[in-house]
Every structure is written in structure tokens, then in C-alpha cells.
Structure 1
Amino acid sequence: MNQKNALIVSAHSADFVWRAGGTVALYAQRGWNVHILCLSFGERGESARLWKRENISLETVKQIRREESEQAAAILGASVSFLDCGDYPLRVDDETLFKIVQVYRDLKPEFVLTHSFKDPYNFDHPLANHLAMEARIIAQAHGHSPHEPVIGAPPVFLFEPHQPEQCEWKPETFLDISSVWEQKYQAFQIMGAQEHLWEYYTRVGLQRGAQASRNSDKKIKYAEAFQCVYPRVTDDLL
């Protein structure tokens, strides 16, 4: 049986935990190889609690955020890698873009999760979306590194931003994560630099669970929601 792979492109080292931790844990539990690619450590804009420590350095903040992310990924059953592109602002060159392309080529993911197209509160997030989408297209191009096989057309799902209405994000797919919620919440607790988000994303999980129940015949306590980028191709409508 061939190993199935999934790819999560996360702008910062904790984004995948809040927005897709349940999906990561669920697919890892099903035997999938789930890989998380973090473009930065969130060392400037998403580590306020760490910067309150006296005489802390940028490199120390990065190291703490890396360790948190690695521990959280391990709890969820995934692998994680980092590109250290900085944050606030996140910036990349073509060399870095091609590294993301190589991840696609090596992994050949069955699906990809990443950020929304828009986010007026955090410009790193839509840039991560752009990079994930552009790298996917380049990885399909026969003329890019023509000695390598190209990838197919993995569907891309956009996980929920912090303020979905302002980001023009619409929940179109709900995934029941009730069975792995405790793993997700355990991963929350590793992210000490952003403890203020634990309760918020618990409420999000419950709300999406309630909406998932209303749109099905199932009793669902916790769910994650996604927006679909491309049309779904399927053998049936169930």
C-alpha cells in the first residue's frame, strides 16, 4: 500500500495548530504522512509574551518557537520543517519559492492546507497562501527541473483565519475532529507564547462543530472548517 501524504503550508510556527491541528491529527491517525512547512517562526509578530522576558534575543525567541512547533507537531503525529523567512514582514526570493516547489515534488501531497487569500490583519498569511499556490503550479510545470516528475493537481483547502468575515473566507467543508480534539488541545498548551488563543480556538471548534451537525445527520462536538480553492472531482456526491 502506497503511503499517502498531505502538506500544510503555515506562515508561522503556530498557525497550523490553531487552524488545522485536528485535521493533522486525524489524518496522521489514519496512517497518512502529514508534513507541515512553516515559513517562519513568528518571532516578531506572534511572540509578544516571550518579548516581555528581560534581555531575550531574537535568536532565542526563534529557538523557543521552533521547539514549541516541533513538540506540537509530534503530539499531532506530523513532521515539520522551517524555512526561516522572517515575519512582520515575511519575505521570500525565488530561491525560497523553489524550495517550496521541491517540497511539493518530493512529497506529492494528496491535498494541501494553507491560509486564506486575504487577511487585512496579517499580511504574512495571504503571502503564505500565494507561495503555496504558486509553488503548486510550478511543481506541475514540466519545464521546471525537467529531470524530475511533475506532481498532479492536489486540491487546496484554506483553513479558517482569525477573523473570517474580514478575510472574505467562507466555510465550505467541515471535518469532524471530535475524536482527536484532546490531541489538538494538548498541542495548544505547547504554544505558551500565544496562550490567549487557547480559549478562542476552543470556541471556534465548538461553533464549527455545531454548524457541522446542522449540515449533517451527525452529532459533532468539534469541527474544523475549510474553503475550497478548486472544484472537487469525485466519483459520487456522498
Structure 2
Amino acid sequence: MADKTALVISAHSADFVWRCGGAIALHQQRGYDVTIVCLSYGERGESAKLWKNEGMTLEKVKEARRIEAENAARALDVHDIQFFDLGDYPLEMDRSAKERLVDVIRKVQPAFMLSHSKVDPYNTDHMYATQMAIECRMIAQAWGHNPGEKVLGAPQLYLFEPHQTEQMEWKPDVFLDISPVWDKKWAAIQCMTGQEHLWHYYRNVAENRANHFRRNSGGQSGGRPATHAEGFQSIFPRTVDEL
């Protein structure tokens, strides 16, 4: 296992692409092993284009979504992608599913984790995934859960950008320059043919966040140039030795 690892918990099989594909590719490039867990394929609620095809079935939609996600993962140089196939609309996790996720968290031992905003009235699967990420992070830290296993430390949980931030109570406190890997993220985005209507929206988001990166790094007084960026909200306090 690499010394540096990260874990993405994605409610549906496309979410990681739009919202943190740049962070994934950038950290892979910097020597991290990034693992993605897709809790569902988004086969019921996020595959409208696929369902319009004649003769479509649930299993055919799942397979199409899996292929798209695997292609996107390859474009981002992902270390590992796992599909829990728990169903969507609604997404639900029983005790065994939670323990399965805890097992992944403990195995990966991530330096940081990524998931959705804590609030999303448009898609409750998203905020449920983050609730489960927080709960399973807690379980993975418990010495009494499967005693003898290596317990989890205290990885930061970053919440990636939701679709309508003003409705999601999401306030970014971190901007990440993804300019060096934008070509990888754009290639991954174009793998998601079932949601082509989102491609240009998320390109615009990345360009707008680059503006915020430039401004917050010094703006016209010497800010660092960036063409594309991603925003994140951290959940837990960060411990530092200097500011």
C-alpha cells in the first residue's frame, strides 16, 4: 500500500467525476493511491437518457453506468474503484453495508476523504452518502470494532461542490488548483455519456473556481495563475504547525 492514500465516497457512479475528478487525478499524479467507492450506480434516478432507449432494463442501465465509471476512472488514473450496488432513489445502507464500508476505510487508511454536501434537498442520496461517510469514519476509529485491526486516525472529510450551492448550505474553505490535470478531468467527464447535459456546466464550474483560486491566492497583487479549480468544505478542524 502507498504511504499516501485517499478515499472518495460517491453516492452514484458519476458523482466523483463532476465534483472531484480533478482532485483525484492531481493526487494520483502526486503519488497517492486514490480509492473510489460508488455506493450505487444511479441507475434509477440519474440515468434518464439511458432509460429513453427502447428495451432498456435495470441491469442494462447498471452495466452502462459501470462501464462509464470505469472508463472515467481510467482517465483519472484511479488506483481502485469499487461498486457496492446498493440501489438509488433511495440509497440505503444496512448494518452489513456499513461494515463493508468500514472495512474499506480501514484497509485504505486514507489521509483524507471526499464526499457530498451535508444538505441536498434535490437529491437526498447525496446527503445520505455523507451521513454514512461520517458514521463509518467514526466506526473505523473505534478500537472495539473488530479488535486487532488497525484503527483509523483522523482523516479530514472534504465535501465536494454540489450542483446548486445556494440550496445546499455548502461553503467552500479550500480551493484546489487542478489546472495541471484538467485534461484528465475533461476526458473523464466525456466518458459519462448518460449525463451529457452536465458536461459544460461542470467545465464552467471549474473555470469559475479558478477565478476564486486566483483571487484568494493574491489576485492582481500576485495571485497564482490557475485555469481550472475545485472547491471543498472541510468538516473537521485542521491541525497546523504554522499558518
- Where on the TM-score scale, by shorter chain, does this alignment land: which range? over 0.9
**Counterpart AA for 1:235:** D
Q: Offset of 1:209 from its aligned partner? A: 0.4
Residue among 204, 224, 227 paired with 2:233:
227
4+ residue runs of structure 1 moved beyond 3 angstroms? none
Number of aligned positions between the proteins: 237
Match of 1:72 in 2: 72
In the aligned structure 1, how far is the partner of 2:180 from the partner of 2:215? 18
How far is the alpha carbon of 1:220 from its aligned partner? 1.2
**Equivalent residue for 2:20?**
20
Aligned to 2:83: 82
Superposed, 1:168-179 pairs within 5 Å as 168-179=169-180
User: Aligned to 1:156, what secondary structure does the other structure show?
Assistant: strand
If the length of structure 1 is used for normalisation, what is the TM-score?
0.98
Identity level (%): 54
CA distance in 1, matches of 2:225, 2:30: 21
List per-residue Cα deviations over 1:195-229 (Å, max 9, x = no partner).
00000000100110001100112111110000010
Matched to 1:30, the amino acid is R
Q: Give the aligned residue type for 2:205.
A: V
Aligned twin of 1:45: 45
Contact 2:2 2:33 in 1 (8 A): no
Shift of 1:3: 2.5
Q: Does 1:165 align with 2:166?
A: yes
Give the Cα–Cα distance (whole angstroms) in 2 for the partners of residues 182 and 149 of structure 1: 37
SS where residue 7 of structure 2 aligns? strand
Cα drift, residue 2 of structure 1:
4.9
With the length of structure 2 as denominator, give the TM-score of the two structures: 0.96
Distance in 2 separating the partners of 1:234 and 1:33 = 24
Code of the aligned partner of 2:239: V
Q: Which runs of 5 or more residues in structure 2 are unaligned?
A: 218-222
Deviations 1:35-75 (A, max 9, x none): 00000000011100000110111001001101110110111
Amino acid at match of 2:178: I
Distance 1:93 1:2, change over 3 A: closer
Structure 1 runs not aligned, ≥5 long: none
